[in-house]
Structure 1
């Protein structure tokens, strides 16, 4: 793994985004006050059951994939199984009922995982974007076990040790490693990290750009707000990409969530800035995290693609358990 020098996003108070937005910081207490006493009508998880399409996963294809075809299965939220050239990669595995440190409190899953941990093929690589509970579920990691190579942002290895995971590869932004012949670069995103009240931004966050031996390129955004300068620079440096996972949900109330989560229109901007040929929508349809209707993100995504003059089929919102096959030749820069 290559080394990088200490950068501006390393500070005495933890990590910071590369290009801070002008509106300043908003605390968790502000968010909680808006959640409990604000004017927004937040959906209740129990009322959302059935609103996200769910299909039975093609387990035969998952366990006997064509190595020459990139195969993506959306398991739910940001959990995706990528299979290509004999390598099985899992992003942000969350299979638990709640995205929370508590058993009975916190965002509850209203659509089931597209497959169970027992149904997974042998996983070679796990990509962890950051430590928020809807992306980093220690119980799921514990059940999957130590066999995969875990790629995590800086300072997150100590967290995974709680799940019995040893030997993580920690990466800074723009640092790269090679695993199973796949070159992996840790890319910046516009977000933050926290597992409790006192550890905000102590652990790094971000996404990943992958290049396979034949030149096929894959991009996992992780969680991010939209920042034109950041994504323009990354698109020039790392793009274009054949296939990408881009978040589309958890964006309202907009004044609060803008600095953390893109809305569908901004997700299309990420696709364009990063040169993602085929995008798959993530970060929607699983947990009630914010106030927008849970079935709204894919509808707005379809409209945003049309308004941008793009084919909506090139940014798909799959059903839970749904699969996409990517068979076009690798993109060339």
Structure 2
């Protein structure tokens, strides 16, 4: 029976753990993604706010420096969950997507409403790519193929996602890890692979066959937490991050794709929960991502940023501690 279960997973085969049952990954003490009937109820229920066909960023496309050395920490927003992190002489991309759509189809599916905040041709040399999970708005094979051809970066990703990437970009340098793994990059930099509350799928028959994760980048100038995509999950994983890492100079947290709450809450936190997460994981500063580029859910395009500001006011926190970044925006993150 166990052998049949393992064979049914096209991406990963390994021993059971506290988040893998021998066939599929799961969120410990958490909730699975909604059923197909729930998806239909949402899709047919209306109440989707209309987004503009184009919503240009107020910031011009950035032209990053080649390197930021030492303890400097510069963050540049590309769009959605794609950001360029520059610190300790390294250039790191998170969930890079330069494609026009995030969909298995080139002619349908969520389409960009603003161009990438960095033109692909203006990227500095990319050393490291962090891919949190295999949803199309986070794992974009066309972009990874371009990155391989021009930059040949090392790609860190959770278990099973290597099978997805290797199928299309067979020469990609991949480093594949489970929750709790630590990867030494060199020169005082390491990456920790950490649990988040989410799920995975590329189609209708591969749900939860590959793992999802967040990353902690440990650098001489402080720690950076990239949560990827996550539900709040009663703050369990945020408390765990504080326990394991003490605190962060910067947390990059999702603030969008959260409505309707009855369907999205387990997998996508809202801005109020993101502020709670920032406080629970002891982050000095935070950057909001996963909003304003691709219409995935029901909320208006500008609501995540507005609600983030309201949540910060409710907590008596300065607005510049947690910034909802727009494409092309550059932030030199203060030292702690």
Q: TM-score, normalised by structure 2?
A: 0.90
How far is the alpha carbon of 1:312 from its aligned partner?
Answer: 1.5
Q: CA RMSD in A?
A: 1.9
Instruction: Tell me what 1:126 maps to.
Output: 129
**Contact 1:73–1:322 (CA under 8 A) maintained in structure 2:** yes
Instruction: Tell me what 1:53 maps to.
Output: 57
SS of equivalent to 2:133: coil
1:136-189 deviation digits (Å, cap 9, x = unpaired): 000000001161110010011111111234331111001111113311110100
SS of equivalent to 1:143: helix
Instruction: Tell me what 1:309 maps to.
Output: 316
Instruction: Tell me what 1:285 maps to.
Output: 292
SS of equivalent to 2:86: strand
Q: Number of residue pairs matched?
A: 318
Instruction: Tell me what 2:304 maps to.
Output: 297
161, 164, 170: which one pairs with 1:159?
164
The alpha-carbon distance between structure 1 residues 327 and 34, as it changes in their structure 2 partners (threshold 3 A), is closer
1:11-66 deviation digits (Å, cap 9, x = unpaired): 13310012214xx651245324422x20313424xx2422x63411341x423545
Q: Residues 174-323 of structure 1: matches in 2 within 5 Å?
A: 174-181=180-187, 182-212=189-219, 214=220, 216-227=222-233, 228-323=235-330
**Contact 2:42–2:263 (CA under 8 A) maintained in structure 1:** no
SS of equivalent to 1:278: strand
How far is the alpha carbon of 1:293 from its aligned partner?
Answer: 0.2
How far is the alpha carbon of 1:240 from its aligned partner?
Answer: 0.2
2-structure distance, mates of 1:222, 1:66: 25
How far is the alpha carbon of 1:5 from its aligned partner?
Answer: 8.5
2-structure distance, mates of 1:286, 1:117: 17
2-structure distance, mates of 1:14, 1:67: 41
Instruction: Tell me what 1:110 maps to.
Output: 113
Unaligned runs of 5+ in 1: none
1:109-151 deviation digits (Å, cap 9, x = unpaired): 1111111221100000000000000000000000011611100
**Contact 1:54–1:114 (CA under 8 A) maintained in structure 2:** no
Unaligned runs of 5+ in 2: 1-13
How far is the alpha carbon of 1:210 from its aligned partner?
Answer: 1.2
Instruction: Tell me what 2:178 maps to.
Output: 172
13, 24, 27: which one pairs with 1:14?
24
SS of equivalent to 2:279: helix
How far is the alpha carbon of 1:319 from its aligned partner?
Answer: 2.2
2-structure distance, mates of 1:215, 1:75: 23
4+ residue runs over 4 A deviation: none
Query: Does 2:65 correspond to 1:62?
Result: yes
The alpha-carbon distance between structure 1 residues 237 and 64, as it changes in their structure 2 partners (threshold 3 A), is closer
